[in-house]
Amino acid sequence: MSQHYFQFFTMLTLLNWFNSTLRQGNITHHEYIQVGKGRDVGLNQIALFEGKVASGNGEQVLSRDVYRLGQLFDFFRMMSFYYTTVGFYFCTMVCSFFIFRKAFTRNLLKKYYTTTYDNFNSSR
């Protein structure tokens, strides 16, 4: 099975789960174990996999099923659902931004105070 079809069928499975949850039904899932060759997993493959997961979350959030699910959930279930979809990426982005901001501000202040201290000592 090609990679495009695999992503398409995975997305359909998730959307069917949303529909089943909305209709309060049950899903039977049969998983078949495939034994194959072990492959070396490098950082490039991990980055590609993370990109696939992120794009899948983006497609989920854009679907109207998520909106309908959000109307049925209570507060705690909604927060759990938010953090397992787009909330994880949003929190990661905010944390990365503030770590970069803190490092940039510390370096800027360090440079400013070093320059001020050097100017103070050279005037004596």
Reported as a single tens digit per residue, the pLDDT across 20-70 is 676 666 656 666 666 666 666 777 888 888 888 888 888 887 888 888 888
pTM > 0.95: no
Instruction: Please state, in angstroms and as integers, the Cα–Cα distance from residue 65 to each residue in 6, 62, 68, 81, following that order.
Output: 21, 9, 5, 13
Identity of the amino acid at 115: T
